[in-house]
Amino acid sequence: MPPTFELNRASALVIEFRNVGKTYKSLLGNSVKAVEEFSLQVVEGEILGIAGPNGAGKTTIIAMMLGYLRPTKGTVEINGLPARTYIERNGVGYLSELIAINPKWRAETALVRYATLAGISDAEIPLRVNEVIEKLGLAEHRDKKVKALSKGNLQRLGLAQALLRDDQILVLDEPTHGLDPVWTQRFRDIVEELRRPDRTILIASHNLDELQRLADRVAIIDHGRLQRVVSTGYEQNAPTATRFRLTLAGGFDQIRESFPLAESGGRGEYDVTVRSIQELNTALADLISRGALVVSVVPERSVLEQQFREAVGESQ
């Protein structure tokens, strides 16, 4: 039996993948299984990340969720309706990995067109379009043709059209692809602003750091299969040993009193391994009480990164 993951939460179920599979068949009869036995539930108010290596099946899963691709097996439902039916009735905010907008359109008119299709009234269109243009820093590019936009600006235009409506569901596929560090950070702020108890956000990315920061849970996919669903918060009694990097500004000679196996990395940095967060905190308290000045404590790998390595390693 494939692994199934069900949330034990009171929040309303919004998106449900039920044993979904997608097999591509060539004219010569060769077949490739892109997605297999994928089951997952996403609830209201949640930000769910979808992580996986390139070619893992993330984009295929999203295409099936949007009804752009018909599953070979299983069903995808949104709020109890077949996915395509739901979208044709309600719409979703969607940013695709590849930003495909007619290159002859101008940035602003592209947004006006999408706003019209999104059902925004004539009176409201200029307001909404201006709002997303300001939010995404596109004011100086509004009259440019899409083909004249840089990769980063095109990505922002793609995000702008996804935010035109106040959609209950947002689907963002590799949202920071092509963005510079400033806009990557701005994007994270925007997603945090978008978080709402009645909104569900899906973010597919191979950037684990991004998912660790934004998502509540992350579904790790490899070879078209759901490997595991990881909660991005640190668990108090995580059973696995975790390495942290400590940076000290003083009291260097005290480090081995509190962390006997600490390895020095130079410049006041030390690598320590603990079996739990409690053990880390106890040792840190001891170190500080001995007069050491702790500047930072950073996990060598995030919970997600650790889980990702294990999951992808297992699947291979």
Partner 1 sequence: MSRGRLGKYSLWQFRDFVVERGVAILIIGLLWGYVLIAPFRAAGGPQLKLNPSSPMWPLLITVASSIVSLSVLIAVNGIVSTDKKMGYYRFLFSKPVSVLAYYVQLYFVHMVGVVAAMLVLSGILRTIVPDFSIVNYLLYTALIFVAMGGIGFFISVATRFDWVTLAAVWLGSRALRDLYGAKPGLPGKLVQVLPPVHKLDAVANGLITNGNAPTTDVIWLLAYGSLFFVLGLVLLRQGSLAD
Binding site for partner 1 (CB under 8 A): 63, 66-70, 84, 87-94, 96, 98, 100-102, 104, 113-114, 116-122, 158, 161-162, 165, 167-168, 171
Q: Which is nearer to partner 1, 68 or 186 (CB)?
A: 68
Q: Which is nearer to partner 1, 101 or 312 (CB)?
A: 101
CB of 18 to partner 1, least distance (A): 19
What is the C-alpha to C-alpha distance for residues 197 and 199, in angstroms, rounded to an integer? 6
CB of 83 to partner 1, least distance (A): 11
What is the C-alpha to C-alpha distance for residues 241 and 274, in angstroms, rounded to an integer? 5
CB of 278 to partner 1, least distance (A): 46
Q: Which is nearer to partner 1, 51 or 160 (CB)?
A: 160
Q: Which is nearer to partner 1, 10 or 123 (CB)?
A: 123
Instruction: Give Cα separations from 15 to 33, 44, 172, 223 (angstroms).
Output: 23, 9, 15, 22
DSSP-H helix ranges across 79-226: 83-90, 107-117, 125-135, 151-162, 181-194, 208-214
What is the C-alpha to C-alpha distance for residues 145 and 109, in angstroms, rounded to an integer? 9
CB of 194 to partner 1, least distance (A): 16
**CB neighbour class for 67 (10 Å; exposed up to 12, middle 13-18, buried from 19):** middle
Is-contact 217 231, C-beta < 8 A? yes
CB of 157 to partner 1, least distance (A): 10
Q: Which is nearer to partner 1, 118 or 190 (CB)?
A: 118
Q: Which of these, 2, 188, 162, lies nearest to 66 by C-alpha position?
A: 162
